[in-house]
Structure 1
Amino acid sequence: MNAMILAAGRGERMRPLSDKTPKPLLKVHGKSLIVWHIERLASLGFSQIVINIDHLGDMIIKSLGDGSKWGVNLLYSDERQSGALESGGGIINALPLLDSEKFLVVNGDIWCDYEFETGYDLGDDLAHLILVKNPGHNPSGDFALHKNRVSNDTKGRYTFSGIGYYSAKLFEGLENKKMPLAPILRETAENGRVSGSLYDGKWYDIGTPERLKEINAASL
Protein backbone atom coordinates (compact mmCIF):
# COMPACT_ATOMS: atom_id res chain seq x y z
CA MET A 1 0.00 0.00 0.00
CA ASN A 2 1.28 3.44 -0.92
CA ALA A 3 0.60 6.57 1.11
CA MET A 4 -0.24 10.19 0.32
CA ILE A 5 0.27 13.28 2.45
CA LEU A 6 -1.97 16.25 1.63
CA ALA A 7 0.29 19.30 1.70
CA ALA A 8 -0.98 21.71 -0.96
CA GLY A 9 -3.27 23.95 1.10
CA ARG A 10 -2.69 27.68 1.53
CA GLY A 11 -3.22 27.52 5.30
CA GLU A 12 -5.33 30.68 5.58
CA ARG A 13 -6.10 30.13 9.27
CA MET A 14 -2.38 29.71 9.98
CA ARG A 15 -1.47 33.15 8.63
CA PRO A 16 0.81 35.00 9.04
CA LEU A 17 3.02 31.96 9.74
CA SER A 18 1.98 30.29 6.48
CA ASP A 19 2.73 33.39 4.39
CA LYS A 20 6.41 32.48 4.24
CA THR A 21 6.41 28.84 5.32
CA PRO A 22 4.08 26.13 3.96
CA LYS A 23 2.04 24.75 6.84
CA PRO A 24 3.48 21.19 6.59
CA LEU A 25 6.97 22.62 7.23
CA LEU A 26 6.02 24.38 10.45
CA LYS A 27 7.93 22.93 13.40
CA VAL A 28 6.49 20.77 16.16
CA HIS A 29 9.07 20.20 18.89
CA GLY A 30 11.81 21.17 16.45
CA LYS A 31 10.70 18.95 13.57
CA SER A 32 8.52 19.76 10.56
CA LEU A 33 4.98 18.42 10.73
CA ILE A 34 5.41 16.54 7.49
CA VAL A 35 8.67 14.97 8.64
CA TRP A 36 6.87 13.49 11.65
CA HIS A 37 4.55 11.76 9.15
CA ILE A 38 7.33 10.60 6.84
CA GLU A 39 9.37 9.14 9.69
CA ARG A 40 6.38 7.28 11.11
CA LEU A 41 5.28 5.99 7.69
CA ALA A 42 8.82 4.81 6.94
CA SER A 43 9.15 3.08 10.31
CA LEU A 44 5.87 1.22 9.73
CA GLY A 45 6.86 -0.14 6.33
CA PHE A 46 5.63 2.39 3.77
CA SER A 47 8.24 2.78 1.04
CA GLN A 48 6.56 5.17 -1.44
CA ILE A 49 4.82 8.38 -0.43
CA VAL A 50 3.07 10.88 -2.69
CA ILE A 51 2.94 14.51 -1.56
CA ASN A 52 0.75 17.06 -3.33
CA ILE A 53 2.09 20.61 -3.46
CA ASP A 54 0.92 24.08 -4.42
CA HIS A 55 1.53 26.98 -2.00
CA LEU A 56 5.30 27.42 -1.59
CA GLY A 57 5.69 23.93 -3.00
CA ASP A 58 9.28 24.51 -4.02
CA MET A 59 10.17 24.89 -0.34
CA ILE A 60 8.66 21.48 0.41
CA ILE A 61 10.60 19.82 -2.42
CA LYS A 62 13.84 21.51 -1.36
CA SER A 63 13.35 20.50 2.27
CA LEU A 64 12.38 16.87 1.68
CA GLY A 65 14.12 15.93 -1.55
CA ASP A 66 13.59 12.42 -2.88
CA GLY A 67 13.04 10.87 0.55
CA SER A 68 16.25 8.85 0.53
CA LYS A 69 17.30 10.23 3.92
CA TRP A 70 14.32 8.34 5.40
CA GLY A 71 14.64 5.30 3.17
CA VAL A 72 11.48 6.08 1.20
CA ASN A 73 10.68 7.27 -2.30
CA LEU A 74 8.91 10.64 -2.32
CA LEU A 75 6.86 11.60 -5.37
CA TYR A 76 5.32 15.04 -5.85
CA SER A 77 1.89 15.69 -7.31
CA ASP A 78 2.33 19.26 -8.51
CA GLU A 79 -0.77 21.49 -8.40
CA ARG A 80 1.06 24.80 -8.81
CA GLN A 81 -0.26 25.49 -12.32
CA SER A 82 -3.87 24.51 -11.64
CA GLY A 83 -3.98 25.89 -8.10
CA ALA A 84 -4.74 23.77 -5.04
CA LEU A 85 -7.38 21.17 -5.92
CA GLU A 86 -8.64 20.62 -2.34
CA SER A 87 -8.49 17.21 -0.72
CA GLY A 88 -10.73 15.28 -3.13
CA GLY A 89 -9.29 16.82 -6.29
CA GLY A 90 -5.78 16.45 -4.93
CA ILE A 91 -6.24 12.71 -4.46
CA ILE A 92 -7.83 12.28 -7.90
CA ASN A 93 -4.96 14.20 -9.52
CA ALA A 94 -2.41 12.02 -7.70
CA LEU A 95 -3.96 8.66 -8.64
CA PRO A 96 -1.42 7.95 -11.44
CA LEU A 97 1.42 8.42 -8.94
CA LEU A 98 -0.31 6.40 -6.23
CA ASP A 99 -0.67 3.59 -8.77
CA SER A 100 -2.40 1.32 -6.29
CA GLU A 101 -5.82 -0.28 -5.82
CA LYS A 102 -5.89 1.00 -2.24
CA PHE A 103 -3.87 3.60 -0.40
CA LEU A 104 -3.57 5.63 2.78
CA VAL A 105 -4.10 9.40 2.83
CA VAL A 106 -3.16 11.63 5.77
CA ASN A 107 -3.54 15.37 6.18
CA GLY A 108 -0.24 17.20 6.35
CA ASP A 109 -1.44 19.58 9.05
CA ILE A 110 -2.15 17.07 11.83
CA TRP A 111 0.12 15.46 14.41
CA CYS A 112 -0.68 12.05 15.85
CA ASP A 113 0.87 8.89 17.22
CA TYR A 114 -1.48 6.66 15.22
CA GLU A 115 0.23 3.61 13.71
CA PHE A 116 -0.56 3.60 9.99
CA GLU A 117 -1.24 0.16 8.54
CA THR A 118 0.44 -0.93 5.32
CA GLY A 119 -1.93 -3.83 4.73
CA TYR A 120 -5.33 -2.54 5.79
CA ASP A 121 -8.05 -4.73 4.27
CA LEU A 122 -11.01 -2.69 3.06
CA GLY A 123 -13.04 -5.76 2.12
CA ASP A 124 -16.07 -4.56 0.16
CA ASP A 125 -15.83 -1.03 1.51
CA LEU A 126 -14.53 1.89 -0.50
CA ALA A 127 -13.12 3.77 2.48
CA HIS A 128 -12.15 3.35 6.12
CA LEU A 129 -11.96 6.52 8.19
CA ILE A 130 -10.07 7.07 11.42
CA LEU A 131 -12.23 9.19 13.72
CA VAL A 132 -11.36 10.93 16.99
CA LYS A 133 -13.30 12.44 19.87
CA ASN A 134 -14.54 15.92 19.03
CA PRO A 135 -12.03 18.65 19.90
CA GLY A 136 -13.13 22.04 21.14
CA HIS A 137 -12.93 23.60 17.69
CA ASN A 138 -15.27 20.96 16.18
CA PRO A 139 -17.80 20.09 18.91
CA SER A 140 -20.49 18.76 16.53
CA GLY A 141 -18.21 16.24 14.82
CA ASP A 142 -18.28 15.12 11.19
CA PHE A 143 -19.51 11.52 10.92
CA ALA A 144 -21.45 9.11 13.08
CA LEU A 145 -19.95 5.75 14.01
CA HIS A 146 -22.06 2.74 14.98
CA LYS A 147 -20.51 -0.73 15.17
CA ASN A 148 -17.62 0.30 12.92
CA ARG A 149 -19.94 1.69 10.24
CA VAL A 150 -19.68 5.35 9.27
CA SER A 151 -22.90 7.22 8.56
CA ASN A 152 -24.25 10.74 8.19
CA ASP A 153 -26.48 10.44 11.27
CA THR A 154 -26.56 13.49 13.49
CA LYS A 155 -26.21 11.44 16.69
CA GLY A 156 -23.01 9.72 17.82
CA ARG A 157 -20.78 11.92 15.70
CA TYR A 158 -17.02 12.06 15.91
CA THR A 159 -14.41 14.15 14.14
CA PHE A 160 -12.67 12.91 11.00
CA SER A 161 -8.99 12.77 11.89
CA GLY A 162 -7.71 13.43 8.39
CA ILE A 163 -6.52 9.82 8.14
CA GLY A 164 -8.24 7.43 5.78
CA TYR A 165 -7.70 4.25 3.78
CA TYR A 166 -9.27 4.42 0.32
CA SER A 167 -9.98 2.21 -2.65
CA ALA A 168 -9.15 3.74 -6.01
CA LYS A 169 -12.71 2.73 -6.98
CA LEU A 170 -14.00 5.48 -4.67
CA PHE A 171 -12.80 8.03 -7.22
CA GLU A 172 -13.77 6.24 -10.44
CA GLY A 173 -15.55 8.47 -12.94
CA LEU A 174 -14.83 11.67 -11.02
CA GLU A 175 -13.44 14.63 -12.93
CA ASN A 176 -9.91 15.81 -12.24
CA LYS A 177 -10.75 19.25 -10.84
CA LYS A 178 -10.95 21.21 -7.60
CA MET A 179 -13.14 19.14 -5.32
CA PRO A 180 -13.55 18.61 -1.57
CA LEU A 181 -13.37 15.09 -0.17
CA ALA A 182 -16.22 15.31 2.34
CA PRO A 183 -19.12 15.14 -0.18
CA ILE A 184 -17.58 12.05 -1.79
CA LEU A 185 -17.33 10.36 1.60
CA ARG A 186 -20.85 11.39 2.62
CA GLU A 187 -22.39 9.95 -0.53
CA THR A 188 -20.41 6.73 -0.13
CA ALA A 189 -21.39 6.47 3.54
CA GLU A 190 -25.03 6.93 2.52
CA ASN A 191 -24.58 3.88 0.30
CA GLY A 192 -23.18 1.88 3.23
CA ARG A 193 -19.64 1.48 1.92
CA VAL A 194 -17.58 3.34 4.51
CA SER A 195 -16.22 1.73 7.67
CA GLY A 196 -14.50 3.48 10.52
CA SER A 197 -12.75 3.17 13.84
CA LEU A 198 -12.31 5.50 16.80
CA TYR A 199 -8.74 6.39 17.74
CA ASP A 200 -8.18 7.54 21.31
CA GLY A 201 -4.45 8.20 21.17
CA LYS A 202 -2.70 11.54 20.77
CA TRP A 203 -4.03 13.65 17.88
CA TYR A 204 -3.76 17.35 17.15
CA ASP A 205 -5.23 19.40 14.30
CA ILE A 206 -2.60 22.08 13.74
CA GLY A 207 -4.89 24.56 12.02
CA THR A 208 -4.03 27.84 13.72
CA PRO A 209 -1.03 29.54 15.34
CA GLU A 210 -2.72 29.03 18.71
CA ARG A 211 -2.95 25.26 18.18
CA LEU A 212 0.67 25.17 17.04
CA LYS A 213 1.66 26.84 20.32
CA GLU A 214 -0.51 24.35 22.21
CA ILE A 215 1.19 21.26 20.78
CA ASN A 216 4.65 22.77 21.22
CA ALA A 217 3.82 23.31 24.88
CA ALA A 218 2.50 19.77 25.29
CA SER A 219 4.44 16.63 26.10
CA LEU A 220 4.59 14.25 23.14
Structure 2
Amino acid sequence: MNTGTKPISSTKGLLTTVGYQLGTSPCVYALEGSVAVAGKVVQWLRDNMKMISKPSEIESLALAVPDNGGGYFVPAFSGLYAPYWRSDARGIICGLTGYVTREHLARASLEAVAFQVMDVVHAMQEEAGIELSSLRVDGGMIENNLLMQIQADLLDSKVVRPVVSETTALGAAFAAGLAVGVWKDTDELVKTWHVAKVWRSEMHEDARAKLTSEWKKAIDRTLNWAD
Protein backbone atom coordinates (compact mmCIF):
# COMPACT_ATOMS: atom_id res chain seq x y z
CA MET A 1 0.00 0.00 0.00
CA ASN A 2 1.37 3.39 -1.06
CA THR A 3 1.62 5.62 2.03
CA GLY A 4 3.10 8.69 0.33
CA THR A 5 6.32 10.46 1.19
CA LYS A 6 6.15 9.69 4.91
CA PRO A 7 7.13 6.19 6.08
CA ILE A 8 4.74 4.53 8.53
CA SER A 9 6.36 2.34 11.18
CA SER A 10 3.94 -0.55 11.43
CA THR A 11 2.39 -1.74 14.68
CA LYS A 12 0.13 -4.19 12.83
CA GLY A 13 2.67 -6.74 11.63
CA LEU A 14 3.48 -5.11 8.30
CA LEU A 15 6.80 -4.15 6.71
CA THR A 16 7.71 -0.55 5.97
CA THR A 17 9.48 -0.36 2.63
CA VAL A 18 10.59 2.05 -0.08
CA GLY A 19 8.11 2.10 -2.93
CA TYR A 20 10.08 4.15 -5.43
CA GLN A 21 11.91 7.39 -6.07
CA LEU A 22 12.00 9.15 -9.41
CA GLY A 23 14.99 11.40 -9.97
CA THR A 24 15.28 14.06 -7.29
CA SER A 25 11.63 13.87 -6.26
CA PRO A 26 10.83 12.75 -2.69
CA CYS A 27 10.96 9.05 -1.93
CA VAL A 28 7.58 7.32 -1.85
CA TYR A 29 7.04 4.69 0.85
CA ALA A 30 4.74 1.71 1.18
CA LEU A 31 3.43 -0.88 3.61
CA GLU A 32 4.12 -4.45 2.58
CA GLY A 33 2.62 -7.71 3.79
CA SER A 34 4.62 -10.87 3.15
CA VAL A 35 2.73 -14.17 2.82
CA ALA A 36 4.81 -17.34 2.87
CA VAL A 37 2.53 -19.65 0.87
CA ALA A 38 0.11 -18.58 -1.87
CA GLY A 39 0.69 -20.11 -5.30
CA LYS A 40 2.62 -22.92 -3.62
CA VAL A 41 -0.71 -24.17 -2.26
CA VAL A 42 -1.64 -25.34 -5.74
CA GLN A 43 1.79 -26.92 -6.25
CA TRP A 44 1.40 -28.78 -2.95
CA LEU A 45 -1.98 -30.15 -3.97
CA ARG A 46 -0.46 -31.34 -7.24
CA ASP A 47 2.94 -32.66 -6.15
CA ASN A 48 2.36 -33.80 -2.57
CA MET A 49 -1.32 -34.67 -2.37
CA LYS A 50 -1.81 -35.75 -6.02
CA MET A 51 -5.25 -34.10 -5.98
CA ILE A 52 -4.69 -32.48 -9.37
CA SER A 53 -2.38 -33.13 -12.29
CA LYS A 54 -2.02 -29.51 -13.38
CA PRO A 55 -2.68 -26.17 -11.65
CA SER A 56 -5.58 -25.19 -13.91
CA GLU A 57 -7.64 -28.12 -12.61
CA ILE A 58 -8.12 -26.58 -9.18
CA GLU A 59 -10.62 -24.01 -10.44
CA SER A 60 -12.94 -26.55 -12.06
CA LEU A 61 -12.73 -28.74 -8.95
CA ALA A 62 -13.59 -25.84 -6.66
CA LEU A 63 -16.44 -24.70 -8.91
CA ALA A 64 -18.10 -28.10 -8.50
CA VAL A 65 -19.24 -27.11 -4.98
CA PRO A 66 -20.91 -23.90 -3.72
CA ASP A 67 -18.74 -23.54 -0.60
CA ASN A 68 -15.97 -25.17 1.43
CA GLY A 69 -18.30 -27.60 3.18
CA GLY A 70 -17.05 -26.37 6.55
CA GLY A 71 -13.42 -27.25 5.83
CA TYR A 72 -10.58 -24.75 6.25
CA PHE A 73 -6.97 -25.02 5.13
CA VAL A 74 -4.23 -22.84 6.60
CA PRO A 75 -1.02 -23.48 4.60
CA ALA A 76 1.40 -22.40 7.32
CA PHE A 77 4.07 -24.81 6.08
CA SER A 78 6.89 -22.61 7.37
CA GLY A 79 4.96 -20.58 9.92
CA LEU A 80 2.68 -17.59 9.49
CA TYR A 81 4.04 -14.38 8.01
CA ALA A 82 2.25 -11.01 7.91
CA PRO A 83 0.43 -9.89 9.90
CA TYR A 84 0.95 -12.67 12.49
CA TRP A 85 4.69 -13.46 12.34
CA ARG A 86 4.44 -16.79 14.15
CA SER A 87 7.29 -19.16 13.36
CA ASP A 88 5.71 -21.78 15.63
CA ALA A 89 2.64 -22.14 13.40
CA ARG A 90 2.20 -25.14 11.11
CA GLY A 91 -0.30 -25.94 8.39
CA ILE A 92 -3.64 -27.52 9.21
CA ILE A 93 -6.84 -28.68 7.55
CA CYS A 94 -9.70 -28.44 10.03
CA GLY A 95 -13.48 -28.47 10.27
CA LEU A 96 -13.67 -31.79 8.44
CA THR A 97 -16.75 -34.00 8.47
CA GLY A 98 -17.74 -36.97 6.35
CA TYR A 99 -19.46 -34.52 4.02
CA VAL A 100 -16.22 -32.85 2.88
CA THR A 101 -14.86 -33.94 -0.51
CA ARG A 102 -11.72 -33.12 -2.49
CA GLU A 103 -13.79 -30.48 -4.28
CA HIS A 104 -14.42 -28.76 -0.95
CA LEU A 105 -10.71 -28.95 -0.13
CA ALA A 106 -9.87 -27.45 -3.52
CA ARG A 107 -12.16 -24.55 -2.73
CA ALA A 108 -10.74 -24.23 0.80
CA SER A 109 -7.26 -24.03 -0.75
CA LEU A 110 -8.24 -21.09 -2.95
CA GLU A 111 -9.97 -19.47 0.00
CA ALA A 112 -6.76 -19.83 2.02
CA VAL A 113 -4.94 -17.63 -0.47
CA ALA A 114 -7.72 -15.03 -0.40
CA PHE A 115 -7.98 -15.11 3.40
CA GLN A 116 -4.26 -14.40 3.76
CA VAL A 117 -4.55 -11.43 1.42
CA MET A 118 -7.60 -10.28 3.39
CA ASP A 119 -5.63 -10.37 6.65
CA VAL A 120 -2.86 -8.25 5.15
CA VAL A 121 -5.26 -5.74 3.57
CA HIS A 122 -7.19 -5.34 6.82
CA ALA A 123 -3.92 -4.68 8.67
CA MET A 124 -2.94 -2.10 6.06
CA GLN A 125 -6.27 -0.32 6.35
CA GLU A 126 -6.00 -0.17 10.14
CA GLU A 127 -2.38 0.99 9.99
CA ALA A 128 -2.72 3.67 7.34
CA GLY A 129 -6.29 4.75 8.00
CA ILE A 130 -6.96 4.38 4.28
CA GLU A 131 -10.09 2.58 3.09
CA LEU A 132 -9.54 0.18 0.20
CA SER A 133 -11.49 1.20 -2.91
CA SER A 134 -10.10 -1.54 -5.14
CA LEU A 135 -7.39 -4.18 -5.16
CA ARG A 136 -5.22 -4.36 -8.27
CA VAL A 137 -3.85 -7.86 -8.64
CA ASP A 138 -0.97 -9.39 -10.56
CA GLY A 139 0.90 -12.66 -11.00
CA GLY A 140 0.01 -16.11 -12.27
CA MET A 141 -2.85 -16.84 -9.86
CA ILE A 142 -4.95 -13.95 -11.14
CA GLU A 143 -5.88 -16.12 -14.13
CA ASN A 144 -8.07 -18.09 -11.71
CA ASN A 145 -11.42 -16.35 -12.02
CA LEU A 146 -12.94 -18.11 -9.02
CA LEU A 147 -10.09 -16.98 -6.79
CA MET A 148 -10.63 -13.40 -7.92
CA GLN A 149 -14.34 -13.62 -7.07
CA ILE A 150 -13.57 -15.13 -3.66
CA GLN A 151 -11.12 -12.29 -3.04
CA ALA A 152 -13.71 -9.66 -3.93
CA ASP A 153 -16.25 -11.38 -1.68
CA LEU A 154 -13.94 -11.52 1.34
CA LEU A 155 -12.71 -7.94 0.96
CA ASP A 156 -16.11 -6.53 -0.01
CA SER A 157 -14.18 -4.52 -2.57
CA LYS A 158 -13.47 -4.42 -6.28
CA VAL A 159 -10.70 -6.69 -7.53
CA VAL A 160 -9.11 -5.45 -10.74
CA ARG A 161 -7.12 -7.60 -13.15
CA PRO A 162 -4.93 -5.62 -15.58
CA VAL A 163 -4.23 -6.55 -19.17
CA VAL A 164 -0.54 -7.02 -18.30
CA SER A 165 -0.44 -9.42 -15.36
CA GLU A 166 3.30 -9.27 -14.56
CA THR A 167 3.30 -5.94 -12.75
CA THR A 168 6.77 -6.31 -11.23
CA ALA A 169 8.40 -6.69 -14.63
CA LEU A 170 6.24 -3.90 -16.04
CA GLY A 171 7.28 -1.57 -13.22
CA ALA A 172 10.96 -2.24 -13.90
CA ALA A 173 10.38 -1.47 -17.58
CA PHE A 174 8.57 1.74 -16.69
CA ALA A 175 11.41 2.88 -14.42
CA ALA A 176 14.00 2.18 -17.11
CA GLY A 177 11.88 3.92 -19.74
CA LEU A 178 11.47 7.02 -17.62
CA ALA A 179 15.23 7.13 -17.00
CA VAL A 180 16.10 7.12 -20.71
CA GLY A 181 13.20 9.26 -21.90
CA VAL A 182 10.88 6.69 -23.50
CA TRP A 183 8.12 8.28 -21.42
CA LYS A 184 8.14 11.91 -20.32
CA ASP A 185 6.50 11.48 -16.93
CA THR A 186 4.24 9.24 -14.86
CA ASP A 187 1.14 10.76 -16.45
CA GLU A 188 2.13 9.04 -19.68
CA LEU A 189 2.57 5.75 -17.83
CA VAL A 190 -0.95 5.91 -16.44
CA LYS A 191 -2.31 5.95 -19.97
CA THR A 192 -0.61 2.62 -20.75
CA TRP A 193 -2.38 0.75 -17.93
CA HIS A 194 -5.59 -1.01 -18.95
CA VAL A 195 -8.17 -3.10 -17.12
CA ALA A 196 -8.91 -6.64 -18.31
CA LYS A 197 -11.67 -7.55 -15.83
CA VAL A 198 -13.25 -6.35 -12.59
CA TRP A 199 -14.87 -8.46 -9.87
CA ARG A 200 -17.28 -7.12 -7.23
CA SER A 201 -18.51 -8.77 -4.07
CA GLU A 202 -21.51 -11.05 -4.46
CA MET A 203 -21.51 -12.14 -0.81
CA HIS A 204 -23.86 -11.03 1.96
CA GLU A 205 -22.20 -9.45 4.97
CA ASP A 206 -23.44 -12.19 7.33
CA ALA A 207 -21.83 -14.89 5.19
CA ARG A 208 -18.57 -12.93 5.00
CA ALA A 209 -18.51 -12.44 8.77
CA LYS A 210 -19.07 -16.17 9.36
CA LEU A 211 -16.29 -17.20 6.98
CA THR A 212 -13.89 -14.68 8.49
CA SER A 213 -14.69 -15.82 12.04
CA GLU A 214 -14.07 -19.46 11.15
CA TRP A 215 -10.82 -18.57 9.38
CA LYS A 216 -9.64 -16.84 12.56
CA LYS A 217 -10.45 -19.99 14.55
CA ALA A 218 -8.44 -22.03 12.06
CA ILE A 219 -5.51 -19.59 12.41
CA ASP A 220 -5.60 -20.04 16.20
CA ARG A 221 -5.32 -23.80 15.78
CA THR A 222 -2.08 -23.50 13.79
CA LEU A 223 -0.20 -21.92 16.69
CA ASN A 224 2.24 -23.49 19.18
CA TRP A 225 3.03 -26.53 17.01
CA ALA A 226 6.76 -26.00 16.55
CA ASP A 227 9.34 -25.18 19.21
Shorter-normalised TM-score: what interval?
A: under 0.3
TM-score normalised per structure 1 = 0.26
Decide which structure has greater strand share. 1
Q: Highest CA radius of gyration, 1 or 2?
A: 2
TM-score normalised per structure 2 = 0.25
